[in-house]
Structures are given as structure tokens and as C-alpha cells.
Amino acid sequence: MKPVIIGLIFIFFLPGYRANSQNFEALQMLISRRFPVIKEKVIFSKINFTQHDTAAYTCKNNKLIIKANTTNAASYALYHYIKKYCHSSLSHTGDNINIPAWLPATKRTETISAQYPLRYALNYCTYNYTMSFWKWDDWEKELDWMSLNGVNLMLAPIGTEEVWQKTLQELGFTDAEIKAFLPGPAFNAWWLMGNLQGWGGPVSNNIIKQWTSLQQKILGRMKALNIKPVIQGFIGIVPTSLKNHFPNATLAEQGNWCGFARPAVLLPQGEPLFKKISSLYYKNFKALYGSDYYYLGGDLFHEGGNTKGIDLTETAKLVQQNMQENFPGSIWVLQGWQSNPVTKILDGLDPKHTLILDLKGDDEENWLSRNQYQNFPWIWTTITNFGGKTTSGGTLMRAYTETKKAEEKFGTSLLLQGTGIIPEGIENNAIVYQWALDRCWQKNIPDIQQNLDEFIEARYGVINEDLRKGWQLLLQTIYSGYNPAITDGQGGYESIFCARPDSNFITTTSCCGPTRLWYDPNLITQAALCFEKAYKNLQNSETLQYDLTDTWRQAINLQGRIVYRNMMNAIQSKNIASFEKNKTAFTNLLLLQDKWLGTNRMFRVGRWLEQAKNMMPNEDDKKLAEWNARAQISFWGNDNLPNNILHDYANKEWQGLLKDLYLPRWNKFFEYQAAKLYGSSTKYPDFFDMEKTWSQQNNIYTDTPQGNIMTILGEIHTAILTN
């Protein structure tokens, strides 16, 4: 047995792990949806192999023959063929499907075998920063993408709202009390993590039912594709109003999180109410969604909370025992984030029924410093994106180097279960997600140039020196990896255009972004020029148009940083002429960015807002959804806290948002600074009020691209290349 497999068997053979493992009919339906040209040309058959997810495929005489032992392996093999031989691909940032009618023959039989049992996907935050307003069509495409990329374990907490609604009704809560607990449609993630309650609501029964219906479809499709869901378990997080109904309950008040009142924690020690509520919760869950589940999520004391006087070890032990009573043999999935799960919690848990997600595999080695989380099964993951920001980047190579390092470090005692993707927003960074998930199927670290060439050819359908050079430059810069010692922040380098202005020099747009650039910005401009040259012959490629748009977007905002620095120096030195010159240049760059991004629907705020309104069934729900969508990407936090740490955390370089929120903020700042320079007294602008005002508007933004790409590229050259 290979060293990497030691210690993994108890999860791999978890009851139900191979349920529906031969559902190749589901894959034929996937083919009809995504690759209709090869419909009836793919033949699946089962092979008996009990250790790994394994598949072998060959194509000849216009027939693709795939033999596999699981649906997951068969699906991954299908996509492997489509990428490698048909030079086609799907992604969150564009599809390139150009499969020939006569299927390319394989040179040999291709055999693919998973090196780890689990391939994990999604973060609680993904469900809001990207998926808040997705309809079934969006989810159907997403689940197909997950299946094709070999994902077999995915967070799936949608629809927990009705479970709680029914549970609280049975406990005697009024409708108003229940609605004060449930979140709005753009803030479910932080409710599920115990950070807030009720914010963004109150939601209607129509919205709650819509979430339930959507979850039922999601879980049904996941079952067909053999993707195991991580459902939301009951861990003791309850409404603070529980004390009004059960004054003697053993509640631990949790205080605030970023200005929001947290829900309370009902402790299980000697507390019959804990078992009563958990029984109701799981009964209602099973009534809505069935009982065939083995992975339960939920984190106690996420990002703080009050643990004073709490026996954490006993609490964790009793919570897990309760899970086992309701779902025998289940696995509690915990997030390895900051100091969680703390040592005392892990001390109370059974490793056979626990799985740790190492969230910050991008730039930390918690798996190493914590000795595999005290010898618990764990998954290496990449978080990549924070806040669903439009910043691109990632530590691309760590999916390879960290897993290899873990194998070498722990040898036969390795408890690594696989790799995963946990972005806070997923409509970005296609190369990171593909490579991180591919790692589970690669025995050795692949040749990086060959890997890159195959990615390029599948992404665009062709490969040439311009595309190759453009991507090599991106790997040297934004994908070279964050260096916390240099950048002191998380995620990609943010746009200065999106920052709330300040009289002090701004180093980061959001609370937690990088403070310093770690690569040469001129290389981004060179990469953009490479993509631009390639685009002249590939103007129908939506993937190249996205990458061209995104790369020039970064070049423009990096130029904005230079102008901003000059402007702030002028303010500090009281150089009026320099201030006026750089203020105008900054404004022109911001407006150019707005115009440029308007050429691509993925970078238009109208896409996000139309999603919000179109998901909801009636006008009141549409208004609530639109406000949720606007609030999340602007002031985010409590609307009574102007300096809440979360403001602009989910900033976006989007057409419309740049022109109608970010530019007015900067204009107010310019007016204030000009008045000071010219010797007038003036009041400091109320940016918080501007953000709230924008969030409450209902002006229409469309998702229809506008503007001529080649014409605007000329304007970009003038603005950047001549400076």
C-alpha cells in the first residue's frame, strides 16, 4: 500500500461512500447538457477496483469508451479527455467548447487514479459572495463543473432556514421572533457560522420556501453525481431570544462580531433542552431533505465568541455524540481557520468521525505547526479569494508543494485526505481551482510548463507564443504567491479606486487586504499586451475576452496607485498644481476603468443586481434582495457603525459601481482637500452615508456589454503606455 493512502481507509469506506457510484446515466445527462455534440458517442462501463477512484479511457472510431469504478472517476476521465484531446473547457470565467463532430482518437489508453479519497469544494462565504441569488440553472451548471473536476465532497447548507423555522415554531416562537433570527439572502453564511442573526431580513415565507426547493434540487443532483454534501449540523447555536422561552437554559451569550449581535450557544452539558432542540432540528431536516447524509458542518466560536467558563472538551464531545445519535457513522467537518478548532475542542473529538479543512493552505502551514491538527484527518485547501473581490491571484504552486511536503514529512502516518477549493468568491482564478483539484489525481508533481500549455490550449482552443508568454507573466506575478512578511494581508492586491478615501495614505482597500505590492506592475501590462495581441485573432473567445479584460483591469488600477501616490504627496506638500493634475488623472483613469469593464458582462454591477431581483418571486422580495446585494458590496456591516471593519470588504471593480459609488466618494474627498489647500474650512465628507444611500437606491443597471473593445484599448494605451 502506498504511504499516501495509509490512515485514509476509514473515511474512504464510510457507509454510503460509494452509494450511486455506478450512476453513469447521470453522466449521460450531463453530456447532453454541456457537450451535446458527443451525445451517444460516450460509452461508460464499470470496472471493479476497490482502493482508489480509478478510470481508464480510450477513443477510436468516434467512440469514447470510459471504464471506471465510480461516477466521480468516470466524470473526471470524461473531462480529462475533453481538455486534453478536444482542447475545450468550462470555467466560472467563460467556456470554450469546440469539440469536433468526429472525436479525436487517443494515442493510448489513458488511466487516471485518485491519490487521495476526497476532493472538497466551497466555503460558507462562497454561498453569499458569489451564489446569493443563483437559480437552479446556475446550480445545475455548477454541479456539472464540480463533477467534471472530480469533486466528491461539497458544502451544501442552503435551505437550513426552513429547518430552523419549523423547529422554532414547535418550540413556541412567534413568526416575528423566527424572522428576527433568520438572515437576508446575502448574509446566510455568517448566520450559519454563528457570527450574526437576522441581518438583511426579515425574509418572507416565499423566500424560505424558495431556498428549500432549491436545496432539494441541489441535493438530488449531488446524489446522482455522487458528490457527498456537507449539511449543516446542530452544534448548539440558537437565537438569543431562546432565553425568553426557556429562562433556565444553559446559554452562553456570544457578544458581538464586527458590530453584529451573535446568536447564543446552548451548552449540551446536563441540558435536556439541547437534545430536545437537536431532535427537532434533525427531524425537520430529514423531513425536508432525507436522511442519507454522512458529513455535518458547523463551527463553534468561529472568529471569536465567548468561551469563558465553558468546558470546551466536554462540549465538543457531547455535540459529536449527538451527531452520531442522529446520523450514525457521520463525520463532523470543521474549519481550520485562525486558531480554530482549538486544542481543547479537538481533545473531545473522535478522529474517526472528524475531518479538518485546512483553510489557509495558500500561505500558512497550520497542518504542519499543529501536527496534522493533533493527528486528525485533514484536507489541504486554497482559499484564494476573499470577499468575492475582483482581485485575481493565488499561490498557484502550493497545491503541489504543500501536499508533497506533507507526504515527505509524515510518511506512513500521513492523514491528508485530499485537496480542496474554498474561495470566498468563485467567479475568478480558473487556473487555481483546476490545478488544486487536479492535484488529487496526479501521482507526481507535473511538469509545470506542460501543465500550463495544456491549460492554455483547453481554455482557448489554441496555443501560441502570445498566450504562453502572457500566462508565464501572470505566474511570475499575481500567481507567484502571497508573501505575508511583505504584503501583510490576505488575497490579491486590491484596487485603489474601490477604497473609501482617507486623509491618511491608504495602503489597503479593505480591512484585510495586502498593504504592499510583491511584484513588478510593469509585468502585468506586458501580460495584457500579450493577451491583446492574441485577441486580435480570437475575438469570439469568451475566455480570452475575460482574461484580456481582467489583465488590463489590473494594469489600469496599478497605474491608479501611482497617480494616487503622487496626489497624496501633493496634498501633504500643499502643491496645488500637482494636486489638480493628479486628481484629474486619477478621475480619468477611474472613468476609463468603468468604461473598459462595461465591455464584459462579468464585470458589470448590473449582472449582480439583476441576479438578485430575478431570483425572487414578488416585488417586496425583489426590493429586499436588491438591498441585500447592494449593502453587501458597499458598507456591508451594521448600518449604525460608520467605521465598521467590514466596509468595502466585498469591494468590486464593476462598471456602474465605479462610476456611481466609488467616483462620487473620491469627488467628495477631492472637494474637501481642495478647500483645505485653498484655505477654506469645510466639513469632512460622510462616506458612510453615501454608501448607505447608494444601497437604498433602485436605479437600473443592465448586464449587457457596451462599448467597442478595440477602441477602448486605444484609450488604455494612451493612458498607460504613454505615461
Give tens-digit pLDDT for 305-364: 999 999 999 999 999 999 999 999 999 999 999 999 999 999 999 999 999 999 988 888
Q: What are phi and psi of 462, to 5 degrees?
A: -140, 170
Cell of 356: 479538518
Number of Cβ within a 10 Å radius of residue 584? 13
Length of the chain: 723
- Which cell goes with 526? 506586458
Q: How many domains does the chain have?
A: 1
SS3 55: strand
Q: Which grid cell sits at 224?
A: 446522482
| Confidence bin at 272 (pLDDT 50/70/90) | very high
Q: Is residue 364 part of a domain?
A: no
- Tell me the average pLDDT across 614-633: 95
CB 251 within 8 A of CB 264: yes
Cell numbers that stand for 353 in this block: 468521525
637 found inside a domain: yes
For residue 15, the model assigns a pLDDT of 37
81-109: pLDDT as tens digits:
999 999 999 999 999 999 999 999 999 99
Provide the CA 634 distance to its chain's centre, in angstroms: 18
Q: Does any domain span residue 507?
A: no
Cβ 169 vs Cβ 178: under 8 Å? yes
Per-residue pLDDT at 681? 87
Residue 12 banded pLDDT, cuts 50, 70, 90: very low
Sign of CA pseudo-dihedral 694, 698, 699, 704: positive
Model pLDDT, residue 592: 98
pLDDT band at residue 48, thresholds of 50, 70 and 90?
Answer: confident
Mean pLDDT of 412-430: 97
- Ramachandran region, residue 338 (left: φ > 0; alpha: ψ -120 to 50; beta: rest): left
Q: Is residue 581 a part of any domain in this protein? A: yes
Residue 711 belongs to some domain of the structure: yes
What is the pLDDT averaged over residues 566-591?
Answer: 98
What pLDDT is stored for residue 5 in this prediction? 37
Q: Which domain holds residue 591?
A: 539-721
Is residue 169 situated within a structural domain?
no
* 3-state SS, one letter per residue, for 456-505: HHHHHCCCCHHHHHHHHHHHHCCCECCCHHHHCCCCCCCCHHHCCCCCCC
> For position 572, which CATH number holds?
1.20.120.670
Please give the Cα distance from 567 to 579 (Å, whole number).
5
172-189 tens-digit pLDDT: 999 999 999 999 999 999
How far apart CA 492 and CA 186 sit, in angstroms, is: 23
In angstroms, the CA 692 to CA 711 distance is 35
On whether residue 557 sits in a domain, the answer given is yes
What lies within 8 Å, CB to CB, of 364 at 6+ separation is: 484
| Residue 146 to residue 97: CA distance in whole angstroms | 17
Examine the pLDDT at 378 and tell me if it is beyond 80. yes
Q: What is the pTM of this model?
A: 0.95
Q: Is 639 a member of any domain?
A: yes
**Confidence (pLDDT) at 487:** 64
